[in-house]
């Protein structure tokens, strides 16, 4: 078990006194004299150290009887970077809870996905986070409910079920307990100027992140590799379709100086929590860029790249299976050719969607649909056709699972066992689909070119040895090395 920051009282007190927003989401401050819990950067006058106690999660604060601060809104802080940095049981469980698995499948479903007993999972989460899976999911439901109450005109009954509550009574009781206000009072206190929805089911919200965030490579990569019909760059926003548990959606993500503007259109409001979770994961919004950049900056050859454009994120995905398929389509071809191959599959096998606000036409095909494709219809070399068909068959039957609950090392090993899978394909899937922050691409042509230009070793073995000092953040080093090229992936579209 890993010891969280909340156990270091002296460090937590310093963070609270300095109102250091970098630690928002790492821990929560509960004030004994007021019964309120806050984020470290809360703007109020810090309480005396003797009146503060620290918890690893909002759920633990709520379990201990503390209410959320109305000033700093601790439930809106970025998530802990720990869950995207680690691949242990706790981190995998937290990623699944954020994806709404407990609400949809219960704790037994969570346990089944992880391959542990419910008792083992509850004991592990309680030990590290001060709350079990039900309490953690309940805290997330409360956050989603508050978001819907304050930003939409939806009736309270619709909000209750959209947020994942099983009854209106549970919704009312939870909101009162967490926020010390009835749902109707929360709505009354919310700002009057809510963005008007252009269509039923459309929500506008803000996705917070830890600064700095450099949007150039993040949105540049997504836009440059966008599959026509599924993704597009329009009016300063990256837009794409989403395949979700209860329906589908369309999201538009726009970079702003202090947040990402997120415009979601959902066919079923119950998908809100998972849609937000997947968008945050896509943009790597829970990363701690200061910690990452400080370590990479220690290498004198990387330091100028970091200082020039700090805060680079790893562009990830909203659908891990989709990305794995696209990685195979992109083997040994240009970005344009990979987009063409993917677009053909989308047109032939994707589910159509309506997009009155843009040019999106389809969901990316499901693995089941792709597994049924006649290989002879695929316009690609025979060996890559075999790689494609083997991968989608393994994805469809669950023999390969790159989802948020996956064990990174085990999944990478299974990918390498497939025909046509070399280290580059496995590692790019590890980096962008599995979310491994230490995935590295020493054989990538762009990385080797950047290495030679900077004076780093250019052979894969020597570069890997040099990159050991960048661990566990080698995936971020990849972003800085790629940025030395003038490829469109490195520039925010205009």
Question: What would the pLDDT profile of 304-350 be if each residue is shown by its tens digit?
Answer: 999 999 999 999 999 999 999 999 999 888 889 999 999 999 999 99
Which is higher by pLDDT, 165 or 190?
Answer: 165
Question: Smallest Cα–Cα separation from 201: which of 366, 425, 353, 9?
Answer: 353
pTM of the model as a whole: 0.91
Distance in angstroms (rounded) separating the CA atoms of residues 365 and 256: 31
3-state secondary structure (DSSP) of residue 253: strand
Alpha helices in 22-167, H assignment, sequence order: 58-63, 82-85, 89-98, 101-114, 118-129, 133-151, 156-162
Q: Could you tell me if 437 and 314 are in contact, meaning their C-beta atoms sit under 8 angstroms apart?
A: yes
* Cα dist from 224 to 202, 228, 319, 321, 358, whole Å: 26, 11, 18, 20, 17
443-471 pLDDT, tens per residue?
Answer: 999 999 999 999 999 899 999 999 999 99
* Residue 5 bridge partners (DSSP): none
Q: Phi and psi dihedrals of 104, rounded to 5?
A: -85, -35
Active site residues: 38, 444
Domains of the chain: 5-76 (3.40.10.10), 132-194 (1.10.10.60), 205-490 (1.10.340.30)
User: Which tokens sit at 88?
Assistant: 């242990």
343-397 pLDDT, tens per residue?
Answer: 999 999 999 999 999 999 999 999 999 999 998 888 888 899 999 999 999 999 9
Element (H, E) at 250: strand 248-255
Residue with tokens 């205009």: 494
Q: What are the b/e assignments for 61-79, b being 16+ CB within 10 Å?
A: bbbeebbbbeebbbbbbbb
Residues whose CB falls within 8 Å of the CB of residue 430, separated by 6 or more in sequence, listed in order: 408, 411, 412, 436, 439
Q: Could you tell me if 296 and 290 are in contact, meaning their C-beta atoms sit under 8 angstroms apart?
A: no
252-298 pLDDT, tens per residue?
Answer: 999 999 999 999 999 998 999 999 999 999 999 999 999 999 999 99
User: Which tokens sit at 490?
Assistant: 């490195």
């Amino acid at each position: 078990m890993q010891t969280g920051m909340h156990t270091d009282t002296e460090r937590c007190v310093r963070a609270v006194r300095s109102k250091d927003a970098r630690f928002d989401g790492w821990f929560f401050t509960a004030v004994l004299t007021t019964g309120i819990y806050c984020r470290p950067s809360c703007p109020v006058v810090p309480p005396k150290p003797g009146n503060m106690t620290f918890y690893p999660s909002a759920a633990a604060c709520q379990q201990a009887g503390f209410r959320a601060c109305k000033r700093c809104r601790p439930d809106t802080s970025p998530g802990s970077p720990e869950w995207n940095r680690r691949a242990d049981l706790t981190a995998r469980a937290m990623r699944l809870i954020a994806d709404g698995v407990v609400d949809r499948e219960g704790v037994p479903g969570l346990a089944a996905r992880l391959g542990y007993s419910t008792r083992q999972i509850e004991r592990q989460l309680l030990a590290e986070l001060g709350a079990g899976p039900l309490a953690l999911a309940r805290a997330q439901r409360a956050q989603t409910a508050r978001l819907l109450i304050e930003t939409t005109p939806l009736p309270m009954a619709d909000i209750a079920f959209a947020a994942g509550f099983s009854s209106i009574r549970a919704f009312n009781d939870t909101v009162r307990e967490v926020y010390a206000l009835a749902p109707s009072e929360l709505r009354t206190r919310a700002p009057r100027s809510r963005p008007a929805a252009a269509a039923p089911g459309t929500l506008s919200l803000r996705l917070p992140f830890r600064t700095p965030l450099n949007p150039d490579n993040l949105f540049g990569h997504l836009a440059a590799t966008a599959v026509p019909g599924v993704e597009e760059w329009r009016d300063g926003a990256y837009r794409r379709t989403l395949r979700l548990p209860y329906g589908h959606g369309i999201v538009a993500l726009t970079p702003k100086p202090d947040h990402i503007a997120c415009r979601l259109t959902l066919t079923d409001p119950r998908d809100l929590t998972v849609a937000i979770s997947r968008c945050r994961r896509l943009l790597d919004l829970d990363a701690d860029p200061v910690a990452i950049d400080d370590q990479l900056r220690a290498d004198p050859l990387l330091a100028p790249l970091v200082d020039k454009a700090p805060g680079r994120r790893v562009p990830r995905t909203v659908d891990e299976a989709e990305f794995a398929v696209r990685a195979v389509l992109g083997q040994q071809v240009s970005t344009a050719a990979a987009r063409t191959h993917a677009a053909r599959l989308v047109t032939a096998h994707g589910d159509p969607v309506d997009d009155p606000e843009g040019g999106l036409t389809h969901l990316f095909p499901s693995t089941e649909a792709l597994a049924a494709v006649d290989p002879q219809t695929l316009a690609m070399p025979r060996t890559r056709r075999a790689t494609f068909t083997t991968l989608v068959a393994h994805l469809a039957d669950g023999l390969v699972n790159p989802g948020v609950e996956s064990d990174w090392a085990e999944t990478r090993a299974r990918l390498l066992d497939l025909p046509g899978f070399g280290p580059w394909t496995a590692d790019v899937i590890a980096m962008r689909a599995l979310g491994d922050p230490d995935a590295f691409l020493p054989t990538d042509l762009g990385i080797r070119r950047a290495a030679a230009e900077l004076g780093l070793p250019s052979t894969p073995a020597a570069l890997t040895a040099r990159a050991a000092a960048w661990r566990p953040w080698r995936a971020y080093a990849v972003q800085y090395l790629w940025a030395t090229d003038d490829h469109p992936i490195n520039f925010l579209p205009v």
